[in-house]
Every structure is written in C-alpha cells, then in structure tokens.
Structure 1
C-alpha cells in the first residue's frame, strides 16, 4: 500500500530526486562512510533526523500499522524508487537505528529482493547502521577506552542512539576490555535499557508527508478523498503516514521538533 500511496502523492507533488547509490561490493563501514560523505555529513557530526535525511535523498518513508508491531522495519526498491517502512512503536533511538539499518539494505543489497540477499545481510545492515550513526572517528574522539556506564549514557545523547547500540559499537571497535564490556551490559540491563530507553528522545517522523497533507488540505483535497482513491479507511491511511492525517484534518499547532537540514520544498503538479 505504501507504493500505491506514493504513486498518488507523486502525481500531485514533485518529490526529492533519488540520491541513494548501491554499493554492493563495499564493506558495510566503507559504504556508511561513503554515504555520509555523499550526503554532506561530517565525520564528527551526528546524523540529523534520519527520516528527514532519507526523504531529502529521495527515499519514500512510511510507517507501519501498529498491528504489525512484531516487524521492526523493512525496505525495498520498486520502479527505481527506494522505500523504507518503519515501526512507530519503538523508542526514538531504536527508530533511528532501524532507519539506518534499512538504508544499509538499500545501499548494500541493491535492487535485489530480500529472498536473494546474502545470509549475513542482517549483520551487514546492522554494521552499516552502527557505522553510519556512530562513526569510528567521532566515537573515538568523544569516548574514552573502557568507559563507565554513566559515560556511555551521557555519550549516547550526542548521537541519539540507544545505550546498548553504543555499547556494542564501542566493543566492536576495540574500546572495551572483555570485563568492562560485560560490566556495562549488566549495569545497563539493571537500569532497564534491555527492554527500553528510559528518558529517550522523541520519535522522528516524516517532514515530506506532513507537508503533503497540509498542501492537499489547502487544495481542498481531504484525507477521506485520498483514502477513497486507495480503497482504504482514513484510519488505515493514518497508520501509513505517522499519524499525520489528524494534524492535517484539525490544523492543530502542536509543538514539533525542529526541522533539520535540508528544508524540503514540495511543488504541486508532479512535473519533473
């Protein structure tokens, strides 16, 4: 359904061009470094809002119906367009990692369907996501070897990642002794970080879809009309678009996170 919704939106607005190369012969960390450089993210800078970043580079990002909460996320290429579908029930930190993980699939495993991906594709996508969100040089410049649990919890806020994700990354790049690594995992578990992200960040959402539905509202096109074209309910439509239909319907001016670069502009008409 995400593909059908995108086709409908694409006919009405000019969306960002696809800027996602496939690097199937690259190692995950090399590919992550390449994409960061191509997209203008410095080696020491944390990745900005991941949903906005994907959208600005032509990835069509949609949300997953909560009924499928057992699915973290998935991605695919179709007709030359990359799609990522995210579970919105996870923590904000987990959502960022899922988005980077799916980007890893798009980049490393190309246009092949998931049935043809290599056996270690999930491991490769995890390695890509870790390197993309927590670049080696950046991590080494900010975190000491064998950090305490408190130092890990403070450092994770810089990259806006889960405490366990940062711990795994530190261990992967040789910054933990075996004893310190186990100690940190045990302490994080006792603090609740194995089952959630206490005091976590706000969940990232779509900038493009927000602008699309506000633009449609100004044109007199209601979410009900869009849902009817797709032969689904407004509720089901809302589940695909991060719950943004409600905002478009009532014009609510709720507080929103600061839109991070680049600022997207949609042009009505769909002309390319």
Structure 2
C-alpha cells in the first residue's frame, strides 16, 4: 500500500508473524474435550434461535441443548452434524482450540435498547465477537493502526482523572487527535485511523432496523457497529458514529439504554462534529431552513442537529424548536431535505478490515484459508469483511 494509505496498515515482517497453522478438516466426532459449549451458544445466538427451537429442529429435548451449553453433557456425533446444519456453521465451528472473546449484551451500548429484543441483542453481540476474531486473525499478519483512545487498554477503560462533561470530553478528544476545530471530513475513517474497528453490514437481516447502532470497549479492540438501515442518511450515519465514539470515550461502565448515558453521548457527538464555539456564530439569528441546510452540508450534519444547536445556544425557544421540527418533517414529507446516501461519501464506509485482508491476500492469504482458520463459511467471512451490499433495498408493492 502507498505511504498515504488512510488505514495505516502494514504487513508484519516474517519474524513477527504468528503461527497461523490450523487443520483443514476436523472430524465430525470432535473427541473428548474438543467440543466447545461456548461456540454452540455463539452459533445459536448468531442464528437468532432459542434453545427450544434448536432442540425441535434436531429432534432432541430443550433440556439436552441446555446441558450442552452448560457443559454438563456433550452432543453425540450425529447431534453435532444436525446442530451444524441448523445453525449454518461447519461442524468444525463447534470445536475448541481457537481464540474466543466473550461479550455479554450488558457489555455493549445499544442506542435503541427498548426496540431491541433480547434475541437481537444476543445476535448483535455474537456478531461483534466474530468481528473481533476476524480482526485477531488479520492482526497476526498485518499491523493495524495503534489504538488511540484515551483511557483504553486491552478491553478496559480507565477514566481516572478524565472529565465527565461530554462537551469537554469531545473538545479534549479533538485536541488529542489533532482535528482542530473545523469540519471532520471523514468521520468513520477517522475512527479507523485511530485503531477503532467499524463495521457496516446487514449482519441480522431485517432485524438491524431495530438495533440502529452499538459499540463496545470490552474487547481487545474497541468496536463500533453501524447498520445499513441508517446508511441512506449520511448525516445521521456520521452522528451515529460520533455518538458511539462518545460511549467509548466516556462510559467505561455500560448501562445499555440508560437515558443519561444516551443523552451524554448525543451531547458529545454534537460537540465533536460541530464545536459550539465555531458553529454558534454561523447559526442564522432567525429560523431559516435554507441557511441551516447549507450550513449542514458544510459541516456534515443534519438540519435536525443544527436545530438542536439553535435551541441550545438560545437562538430559538423550546416552543419554536418544537414547531420547527414539525415543519421540517412536513418539508421532508413533501420531498425537500432529502437524505443523502453514504455511497457518495467514501470516507464514511468502513474499509479497515477489507483493506487488511487485501494486504494479507497480497502476501498469500486466501479467503478459503481464512474461512478455514476461523471455521466459518465463505459467505459468512465475506459478510464480516463488509462485502455485503449496504444500499437500501427497493421493495415494490
């Protein structure tokens, strides 16, 4: 890659490469101690299935599946084959012997917790676990950008001596990252350049519309998961990324769905994208949607965000803000202030994982080899690498 590679990836020299050897084939009978109960739980959650539904599909009792996951019993070889078929994983996926970082739903910040059922949160966190596993496999071959997140170390955040004020936290991070006080042209790329893994795929099918976005600092690398359902609005997409960054910076103790933490993350995002000291003099003295639209394009934020800014700085009253917001929705309904897709903004589409694979591929790694190492299917690997189509789907009725 060129010296100006925005992902800052580098191939590791041979002397630093980690042994990546792995069996090409694992027998159906995994043998004593080879079956990994945690992998069964992960695969079930990725499939969005309950223990009862898995049991019904393979012809055993739900108690049996519960015992397998609780490590009090082991499935027979024919059960393993049935499980793999139902869960759409190779039998080898259920074997022990490879790195696994467990993430509980309580360890992730879910922006829309009330609309996200437990099964979908479990699916989302299991997806984040797989993203980390892919990252780990690639980091054995490619040097990723250094994690540059204040207080973060090896899956923990220590905020000792750091400010709890979201505005001050946003200002401090801008200074720390050398971003100045002007527009951030590429929000997602900025996160990736500082060692944060960002992904944007349909990892849960139509269910992603309920998940919106989430993040975690409980894994060895911080991860931000954005969903394509919001990608048809680049400004909302950028704000979601900044919102999740706020969680990573400020909230070492996750309280999923907590109103106060969500409010603080919103305040952080607004200040990070549009510093108050710089944006306030540019706001129109009287409500003017045209000028707000032009200002939003300049700073890469939505008119909604700038309306809130107008209210925060006292340019408009609370009643005026509410009426303006209703008027804005009406204008959108009539075809004005249309959303802009992220596909016109390359810096807002994650590339870190895909670029890392391409660099490793140039050194001999193949998709088939990597899928075998991770013990997943090729379609699953392509999804994790972000090869899925993130464009909104046209539905004819």
The reply to whether TM is greater than 0.5 is yes
Q: Report the equivalent of 1:160.
A: 300
Question: C-alpha deviations, 1:194-249, integer Å up to 9, x for none?
Answer: 9996141525112322421321332232333323322333333333333279xxxx
Q: Helix, strand or coil: the match of 1:81?
A: coil
RMSD: 2.7
> For residues 337 and 268 of structure 2, what CA distance do their matches in structure 1 show?
22
Q: Helix, strand or coil: the match of 1:98?
A: helix
Does 2:161 align with 1:48? Answer: no
Q: Report the equivalent of 2:351.
A: 207
Distance 1:160 1:94, change over 3 A: same
Counterpart contact for 2:138–2:360, Cα < 8 Å: no
> For residues 31 and 194 of structure 1, what CA distance do their matches in structure 2 show?
39
Question: C-alpha deviations, 1:23-63, integer Å up to 9, x for none?
Answer: 564211110011011111112x1113111111111112223
Structure 1, unpaired ranges of 5+: 246-272
Q: Report the equivalent of 2:374.
A: 230
Q: Helix, strand or coil: the match of 2:222?
A: strand
Question: C-alpha deviations, 1:153-183, integer Å up to 9, x for none?
Answer: 1111012122212212221232223454234
1:240 paired residue among 384, 389, 396: 384
Q: Report the equivalent of 2:97.
A: none
> For residues 163 and 241 of structure 1, what CA distance do their matches in structure 2 show?
33
1:221 paired residue among 365, 375, 378: 365
Q: Report the equivalent of 1:268.
A: none
Counterpart contact for 2:284–2:292, Cα < 8 Å: no
> For residues 294 and 267 of structure 2, what CA distance do their matches in structure 1 show?
22
1:120 paired residue among 249, 257, 260: 260
Counterpart contact for 1:162–1:197, Cα < 8 Å: no
Q: Helix, strand or coil: the match of 2:342?
A: coil
Counterpart contact for 1:46–1:134, Cα < 8 Å: yes
**Moved beyond 6 Å, runs of 4+:** 193-197
| CA apart distance, 1:109 | 0.6
Structure 2, unpaired ranges of 5+: 1-129, 152-158, 390-397
1:59 paired residue among 165, 176, 196: 196
| CA apart distance, 1:121 | 0.8
Q: Helix, strand or coil: the match of 2:170?
A: helix
Counterpart contact for 2:296–2:303, Cα < 8 Å: yes
Does 2:17 align with 1:17? Answer: no
Bigger CA radius of gyration = 2
Aligned length: 242
Q: Report the equivalent of 1:96.
A: 238
